[in-house]
Amino acid sequence: MPKASATTLAVITGLIALSIPILAALKLAQYQSLESEKERALSYATEVMGRSERTALQIFDGIEKLVRTRGDSGDDPCSETQIALMREIDLSSSYIQAIGYVSGERMLCSSMGVHPGGLALGPAEQVTRSNALVRTNVRLPTAVPDTTFIVIQRGSYAAIIHKSLPIDVSTQEKDVSLATFTPGYREFRTSRGLVKQEWIDRLQGRNEVTFFDGEYVVAVVQSTRFATGAVAAVPGVYLNTRVREFAMILVPLGLLAGIALAFVARYLTKLQQSLPTLIKAALRKNEFFMVYQPLVDLQTREWVGAEALIRWRRADGTMMRPDQFIPAAEESGMIQRITQHVLQLAAQDVPQIFRQHPDFHIGINLSSADLHAGETVALLQQLLRDASAGPHNILIEATERGFMNADIAREVVRDIRALGIDVAIDDFGTGYSSLSYLESFELDYLKIDKSFVDTIGTDAATSRVVLHIIQMAKSLNLKMIAEGVETEAQEQFLREHGVQFAQGWLFGKPMPVADLASELAKRRPAKPA
Q: Domain check: are 258 and 358 in the same one?
A: no
CB 320 within 8 A of CB 329: no
How confident is the model over 110-133, as a mean pLDDT? 91
- H helices present in 256-296, as ranges: 257-272, 275-285
CA distance 39 to 489: 54
Asked if 472 and 448 touch (Cβ cutoff 8 Å), the reply is no
Label residue 65 exposed, middle or buried (CB < 10 Å: 0-12, 13-18, 19+): middle
What mean pLDDT do residues 452-474 have? 84
Kindly state whether residue 527 falls inside one of the protein's structural domains.
no
Instruction: Tell me the mean pLDDT in the region 8-26.
Output: 56
Q: How many helices (H) and strands (E) does the chain have?
A: 17, 21
Whether 21 and 118 map to the same domain: the answer is no
Residue 18 lies in a domain: yes
Distance CA 98, CA 109 (A): 10
Greater model confidence, 27 or 514: 514
Same domain, 82 and 7: no
Pairing label, strands 319-320, 216-222:
unpaired
Instruction: Encode pLDDT of 62-112 as tens digits.
Output: 999 999 888 766 778 999 999 999 999 999 988 899 999 999 999 999 999
Q: What pLDDT, on a 0 to 100 scale, did the predictor assign at position 250?
A: 61
The pLDDT of residue 263 is above 60: no
- Confidence grade of residue 289 (pLDDT, cut at 50, 70, 90): very high
CB 290 within 8 A of CB 311: yes
What's the pLDDT at 333? 84
Which of the pair, 231 or 277, is modelled with greater confidence? 231
Element containing residue 398 per DSSP (H, E): strand 394-399
Residue 271 has pLDDT above 50, yes or no: no
pLDDT at 479: 95
Evaluate the CA torsion angle 336, 337, 340, 346 in order and state its sign. Answer: negative
187 & 322 share domain: no
Instruction: Looking at the structure, tell me whether residues 226 and 349 fall in a common domain.
Output: no
How many other CB atoms are there within 10 angstroms of residue 407's CB atom? 7
DSSP class per residue in 325-393: HHHHHHHHT-HHHHHHHHHHHHHHHSHHHHHH-TT-EEEEEE-HHHHT-THHHHHHHHHHHHTT--GGG
Number of domains in the chain: 3
State whether 423 and 467 are in the same domain. Answer: yes
343-367: burial string, b at 16+ Cβ within 10 Å, e else: bbbbbebbeebbebbbebbbbbbbb
Give residue 443's domain range.
289-522
pLDDT per residue over 175-207, tens digit each?
Answer: 899 999 999 888 898 888 999 999 999 998 899
Domain co-membership, 14 together with 33: no
CB atoms within 10 A of CB 68: 10
CATH code of residue 425? 3.20.20.450
Start-to-end C-alpha separation, the chain:
97
Q: Looking at the structure, do residues 307 and 442 belong to the same domain, yes or no?
A: yes
- What pLDDT does residue 169 have? 82
Q: How many CB atoms lie within 10 A of CB 450?
A: 16
Does residue 174 lie within any of the structural domains? yes
